[in-house]
Amino acid sequence: MHRHMETEAIDALRETLRQISVIKVKEICVSRHGHHSEKTILGHIEIYGHAHLLACKFVSACDPMHLRRAVHDLKKVQKERGVVVMPILIATTISEEAQSICRNNDIGFLDLDGNARLYLDEVFIVKRSLHHKTIPPPAETLPTSETAHFAQVA
């Protein structure tokens, strides 16, 4: 994971959690584990005074191969920690297919466009981005000397 994308993912997670007053963010850090020193973003939070651990994987592409690996890694972190771990997939942009895979595997998701679906025991967060990229209207053609001449005649 590139350092810049890692920082953006952490910022998006922190901002999403900050919007809910009952969630207190204690710490968000990056943990290295496994054979390939894979990175997992860990979020230590409190909800109504109860401690929770968020295990987040960032994927830059939502293709099936990356998603399967991320789901596998998140499930592995859940087993290893032995505590209640809430898995979350973070992506640059998350497709409808990726959202469906996350829902089917009980994994929360968050993207850098502002979409989120997080189930954190007592709190359920759903955000849908209203950011639509609009295409500017086509520019009017400038009159050429010939069309300008006809415009003056009319």
10-residue block means of pLDDT along the chain (154 residues)?
82 93 94 73 93 91 85 87 84 89 92 90 77 47 51 50
Coil, helix or strand at residue 112: coil
CATH of the domain at 41: 3.40.1350.10
Q: Domain range holding 100?
A: 3-153
Residue 3: per-residue pLDDT: 75
Count: domains in the chain: 1
The pLDDT, as a whole number, for residue 133 is: 45
Q: From start to end of the chain, where are the E strands?
A: 23-33, 38-47, 50-59, 85-91, 108-111, 116-120, 123-127
CA distance to 82, 103, 135, per residue, from 131 (Å): 39, 23, 13
Q: Name the pTM for this structure.
A: 0.77
Q: What is the pLDDT of residue 82?
A: 67
pLDDT of residue 132: 46
> What pLDDT score was predicted for residue 134?
43
Q: Which residues of 17-43 are buried (b: 16+ CB within 10 A; e: fewer)?
A: beeeeebeeeebebeeeeeeeebbbbb
State the pLDDT at residue 37.
62
Q: What pLDDT does 135 receive?
A: 43
In the numeric block, the tokens 């502002």 are attached to 114
